[in-house]
Amino acid sequence: MKSDCIQTTICQERKKDPIEMFHSGQLVKVCAPMVRYSKLAFRTLVRKYSCDLCYTPMIVAADFVRSIKARDSEFTTNQGDCPLIVQFAANDARILSDAARIVCPYANGIDINCGCPQRWAMAEGYGACLINKPELVRDMVKQVRNEVENPRFSVSVKIRIHDDLPRTIDLCRKAEATGVSWITVHGRTVEERHQPVHYDAIKIIKENMSIPVIANGDIRSLKEAENVWQITRTDGVMVARGLLANPALFAGYEETPLKCIWDWVDIALELGTPYMCFHQHLMYMMEKITSRQEKRIFNALSSTSAVLDYLTEHYGI
């Protein structure tokens, strides 16, 4: 596969090595893989506000390998988009290794999605069903390790926990023995959606690992991130919806500052972000700073020019 099919600029020297970050003793602040949302423009924004490491949205490896069109639409990066982890949904070791070789010049590593609980993903053999298939996870990790020549290229996994925690610990130990660089643990089972996160389970998993562990689940502020980090004794904290609502979360802001909204407008327009994505991000960012009536008006806007006019009139942007 020719990697020059991807519309990107290669970051020739990715100096910020995630593995080194995780061994620094400092909290590593991570932007989660979010379908439709954690694309280049949003990653660029959160990096301005103290995010240390970003993931792409989940990409189906088979489509990515098979289709140039899929590669061009699903994966875009640039020199400032670093360090970067590309997350893949995969259930075949050969296909995953092909996908990893394509993105290797453009990213610091790949992540195998073993945590998505959506029915379509599990029906295809992707996501959280893989926590019950440690041998397949092992084969995929080994295949990537054998095919990607760069020894600094990371291979990580993101998982959910089992009801029976020893099964999760066994899965993590097997992954570690296979050569996984780190593990991200979302502290809920496949069946749990809005129930409290089991941070105690993440702590126990970390105690049984020698490799770095990232804690994930229901973090809405920098203070919460620091508390979870201290409670679980993990090496980093990953945030998803909290960053959508407040991309400046990791910089310590309790709600999205106007400067962050201005930055989003500039970045999104510069990178040619599609209107639906541009508008949706603003709706998330402005959730806490707009009244119910203002939300109705803003959410009904249907063009970039209308959004810009609204922001200029109401917020002086």
Total residues belonging to the chain: 317
Alpha carbon 82 to chain centroid, angstroms: 13
Residue 275, number of CB atoms within 10 A of its CB: 15
Domain C-terminal end among 231, 251, 271? 251
* 61: helix, strand or coil: helix
Residue 43, annotated as binding a ligand: no
Domain of residue 266 covers: 258-315
Instruction: Check whether residue 199 and residue 90 sit in a common domain.
Output: yes
Q: Tokens representing 216?
A: 């994930």
pLDDT per residue as tens digits for the range 248-262: 999 999 999 999 999
Give residue for tokens 């942007």. Answer: 317
Is 311's pLDDT higher than 60?
A: yes
Pairing of strands 236-239, 154-160: unpaired
- Asked, for residue 132, whether it belongs to a domain, the answer is yes
Give the pLDDT mean for 268-294: 94
Give the pLDDT mean for 151-167: 96
Domain C-terminal end among 232, 251, 270? 251
pLDDT at 14: 53
Give residue for tokens 């600029």. Answer: 9
Quick one: which of 132, 102, 100, 97 has its CA closest to 114? 132
| Whole-number Å distance between alpha carbons of 122 and 114 | 10
Active site residues: 116
Instruction: Check whether residue 276 and residue 242 sit in a common domain.
Output: no
Is 10's pLDDT higher than 60?
A: no
Q: What angle (nearest 5°) sits at the alpha carbon of residue 268, between those of residues 301 and 79?
A: 165
Residue 285, annotated as binding a ligand: no
Q: What angle (nearest 5°) sits at the alpha carbon of residue 87, between those of residues 263 and 60?
A: 115
Residue 88 near residue 99 (C-beta atoms within 8 A): yes
Q: Tokens representing 310?
A: 């609204």
Q: Tokens representing 276?
A: 């639906």
- Asked, for residue 1, whether it belongs to a domain, the answer is no
Query: Residue 208 — φ and ψ, nearest 5°?
Result: -100, 5
pTM score of the predicted model = 0.93
Domain C-terminal end among 200, 220, 251? 251
Instruction: Check whether residue 301 and residue 226 sit in a common domain.
Output: no
Residue 26, annotated as binding a ligand: no
Is 277's pLDDT higher than 80?
A: yes
Residues paired with residue 160 on neighbouring β-strands, in sequence order: 186
Instruction: Check whether residue 171 and residue 292 sit in a common domain.
Output: no
User: Would you place residue 11 in the very low, low, confident or very high pLDDT band (cuts 50, 70, 90)?
Assistant: low
Residue 241, annotated as binding a ligand: yes
Helix (H) or strand (E) holding 95: helix 93-103
* 292: helix, strand or coil: helix
Instruction: Check whether residue 225 and residue 302 sit in a common domain.
Output: no
Q: In this prediction, what percent of the chain has a pLDDT beyond 70?
A: 95
Instruction: Check whether residue 202 and residue 297 sit in a common domain.
Output: no
Instruction: Check whether residue 70 and residue 106 sit in a common domain.
Output: yes
| Whole-number Å distance between alpha carbons of 197 and 206 | 15
Domain count, the chain: 2
Residue 35, annotated as binding a ligand: yes
- Asked, for residue 12, whether it belongs to a domain, the answer is no
Residue 87, annotated as binding a ligand: yes
